[in-house]
Amino acid sequence: MTLKIVTWNVNSVRIRTGLLKRLADESNPDIICLQETKVEDISFPLEALRALGYPHILFSGQKSYNGVAILSKVPLEPLGCMEMAGSMDKRHIGARLPGGAELHNFYVPAGGDIPDPVANPAYGFKLRFVEQMTDWSKQYEKDKRGKTIIVGDFNIAPLPDDVWSHKQLLGVVSHTPAEVERLDALKDARNWCDTARHFVEPTQKLYSWWSYRNRDWRKSDRGRRLDHIWVTPDLKPALKGSQTLKDVRDWEGPSDHVPVMLTISL
């Protein structure tokens, strides 16, 4: 079974249901993992999304902030939602796919503007969040949980060519050494494969986010690669392709993130 799996920080699922329809029509993903849905569960647009061809939907949300969801054409076995870093924020949801592989969708905190956990508690929360992801990953390795896929807006661009200027952004939250060190520790915890960089050389510029502040985002191209799909080593032979759907940023009323899509045989 070959699946196309998308991760997308949609920045309000109700506002962008039309863009989800266009994504479904043009790219035909089998599974769409959403972050920042910004809606309480009682108001989640379940029927509208099922009408797009995704009968199997899991979601966990809160009013105006955060929120995650998985839309799927294939059956999902719910694996629940983790509370991360001592917070009740809705930032994780998991499911088991047909064949047994686990899929976990994370929305890592943005971390504010000041890269100092004392002066800026939001930055400290972000660091703790990634540390807990690492602890969870190590426990999975210890328990020999097998094939696992993690996706989401990790809000960290780890490599020099994951940002438009490595030198200028070293002190900017999303590319600071403390964040990158923690994301590297997470990667090492299960020897995760960063699927986008499996197909695109690390020395090639690759972004998934462009600020709304840039009037001509394509011309300035000051992007960052914040959105990721990683797999455990036992799934590397199953990887078929990766796409960053950059043109979605030009659609009317876009998110500041674009979808990232993995094709994998499970």
What pLDDT digit, counting tens, does each position of 232-248 carry? 999 999 999 999 999 99
* Residue 31 DSSP one-character state: E
What is the C-alpha separation between 224 and 183, in angstroms, rounded? 15
User: Sorting pLDDT into bands at 50, 70 and 90, what band is 219?
Assistant: very high
The phi, psi pair for 160, rounded to 5°, reads -55, -35
Q: Is the pTM of this model over 0.95?
A: yes
User: pLDDT at position 64, please?
Assistant: 94
Average per-residue pLDDT for the chain = 97
- The amino acid at residue 130 is V
- Express each pLDDT in 53-102 by its tens digit: 999 999 999 999 999 999 999 999 999 999 999 999 999 999 999 999 99
80: left (phi over 0), alpha (psi -120 to 50) or beta: left
The pLDDT tens digits of the residues spanning 188-212 come to 999 999 999 999 999 999 999 999 9
**Selection from 5, 14, 6, 8 nearest residue 226 by Cα:** 8
**pLDDT > 90 fraction of the chain, expressed in percent and rounded:** 98
What pLDDT is stored for residue 42 in this prediction?
A: 97
Tokens 């797009």 belong to residue: 52
SS (H, E, C) 171-200: CCCCCCHHHHHHHHHHHHHCCCEEHHHHHC
Cβ of 140: how many Cβ atoms within 10 Å?
A: 18
Arithmetic mean of pLDDT, 254-264: 98
Give every CB contact of residue 200 below 8 A, 6+ residues apart in sequence. Answer: 206, 242
Number of H helices and E strands in the chain, helices first, is: 7, 14
Q: pLDDT grade, residue 215 (50/70/90)? A: confident
Dihedral angle, C-alpha 42, 48, 51, 53, nearest 10 °: -80
As a whole number of angstroms, the distance between CA 32 and CA 34 comes to: 6
Ordered by start, the domain boundaries in the chain are 2-265
Q: Nearest 5°: phi and psi at 170? A: -60, -30
Contact 120, 114 (CB under 8 A): yes
Q: How confident is the model at residue 261 (pLDDT cuts 50, 70, 90)?
A: very high
> pLDDT class for 227, splitting at 50, 70, 90?
very high
Sheet strands (E) in 10-66:
31-35, 56-60
CATH for the stretch 2-265: 3.60.10.10
Q: Is the pLDDT of residue 132 over 90?
A: yes
What is the arithmetic mean of pLDDT over 27-49?
98
- Determine the pLDDT at residue 214: 85
